[in-house]
A and B are shown apart, each in its own frame.
Chain A
């Protein structure tokens, strides 16, 4: 009875193990790797989404790169990323630190906080559209002028609304990450600081924040890569409008491809999106001196 194990160990260095990864690999290759390569290939073609696909060299690239809509979409995407990061990060750290504390009622708060995380972007966007309707919404009913502005009709307001709704939806998630990070900081560090007479604020800036460095990087990576693909929310909330005030890259891709039936140029935008995502992830990894995901896997 000792032969089977001995035999299989000799047969291949890792026996059946590589085969166990095969199904996942297959799905991932067909519906993620091939599409990533495919989108690059399609960017050198002309296709209306229904008929024949024709190779057309750099036509799509020239068309997109010459289009003033592209720098605008890149700019809006950049603004959404920066603004939603700048709003979410301080609030998430604050709430995460608060939630990591000892009071029992904080648990109850946490249960409520996480409800937005569960809802679909479509549902959230639709609820906010109804809530902020200048004529029938909350502001009109209560006579609050600030709320009854034409939130979707003015570029600045629409942009602010997008950032607010994004934060409303995702701050809970990032607070949770920060809460986990804060709980891992050794208590002794605070005790030592207290003996040295450091106050609460001082402790926060000289212990909590530096200790959260890798948590900040993990959370920021997820935020930044995530905000590249805020498609659902912006699509339902503003459809990129008014005009093209909130037309981010992902929306630009959809509109060119599936509304204007220009799959070639849409693929160009998609390639840009993939590249931007990779570059941002690499930059954040550099910033941290290590890749949080990688070290999680290898530092067993």
Chain B
């Protein structure tokens, strides 16, 4: 489960592997290798183009070779984007993401714990079944009633309007993944906690949470990513430019300045930067956790 993408295979597999390659199957999986390198190009070229274009001046952009980095890189585009109120949109995105992810993971963890610990409970089985059904239903199809509920709660055009449905949408997958990991905690540990007189509440936070920390981190990163990148809820539930989150702001910015390609791609980079930083720190856990959650 802890096997990550970057981890080399276990040492024990190595000699065997060498043996394979020494055999007649020397060129094995050349198709995979070819696809691998081609795909690298497919991924890298657009990203490279976006990156170098963001440092070009609009005036010289059209005349320059699109794949050659600018000889005199400029930060003007970034300045322009930041001056277009992107600091506010950034703050909104942070508030919505943190405001939704922390409660979502907390309540999902509590539910997952209950579902694993009381497997005979009919009620909890039903709850579990309900969450599983939530995985199959395209929840985005429910935005019209959500819009109505948000209006009735008088939350329209507020950040809380984005937070509440985001929490609900995050619950099914979070419970599924967390329950998978809590189930791996040896039963004897729960038993000894019980013998020591610990309540379920204490066991939940003192035993289950520390032991499943990697899963909690994974689920947190995954949900943060989904909510940070969310577009439909802000589009439908807000109106005031001051409430825009980054993806929505990016879209309106592009609508306004589509001719200014360097500025548009600079905005793309700026909205993506925080995620890339997060990726740099949490990559291992995110990828291994996702793999474990889906293939276990």
Contacts and interface: CB of A to CB of B under 8 A. Distances in A.
**Do A and B make up one complex?**
yes
A184 B3 CA distance: 11
B231 A121 contact: yes
Interface in A236-250: 236, 250
A127 B46 CA distance: 8
B63 to A, nearest CB: 9
B145 interface: yes
A131 B144 contact: no
B49 A138 contact: yes
A4 to B, nearest CB: 6
A215 B261 CA distance: 41
Size bin of chain B's contact surface: 35 or more
B294 A177 contact: yes
A34 B145 contact: yes
Contacts of B130: 25, 28, 33
Size bin of chain A's contact surface: 35 or more
Contacts of B176: 293, 296-297
The majority secondary structure among interface residues of chain A is: helix
Interface string B214-246: 000000000001001111100010000000001
Contacts of A99: 5, 36
Interface in B1-59: 3, 5-9, 13-14, 16-17, 20, 23, 25, 28-29, 31-33, 35-37, 39-40, 42-44, 46-47, 49-50, 53
Interface string A150-186: 0000000000000000001001110011011101100
A27 B167 contact: yes
A180 B7 CA distance: 13
Residue of B42, B144, B271 with most partner-chain A CB within 10 A: B144
B137 A267 contact: no
B168 A31 contact: yes
Residue of B6, B46, B124, B164 with most partner-chain A CB within 10 A: B46
B149 A129 contact: no
Interface string B50-80: 1001000000011011110000000000000
A20 B111 contact: yes
B35 A297 contact: no
A8 B268 CA distance: 56
B272 interface: yes
A200 interface: yes
Interface string B114-133: 11111111011001101111
Interface of A: 1, 4-5, 13-21, 23-25, 27-28, 30-36, 38-39, 42, 49, 53, 91, 94-95, 97-99, 101-102, 104, 106-116, 118-123, 126-131, 133, 136-138, 141-142, 168, 171-173, 176-177, 179-181, 183-184, 187, 191, 194, 199-200, 215, 218-219, 221-222, 225, 228-229, 231-232, 235-236, 250, 253-254, 257-258, 263, 266-267, 270-271, 273-274, 277-278, 281-282, 293-294, 296-297, 300
Interface of B: 3, 5-9, 13-14, 16-17, 20, 23, 25, 28-29, 31-33, 35-37, 39-40, 42-44, 46-47, 49-50, 53, 61-62, 64-67, 104, 107-108, 110-111, 113-121, 123-124, 127-128, 130-149, 164-165, 167-169, 171-172, 175-176, 179-180, 183, 194, 197, 199-201, 204, 225, 228-232, 236, 246-248, 250-251, 254, 258-259, 261, 264-265, 267-268, 271-272, 275-276, 279, 283, 287, 290-292, 294-296
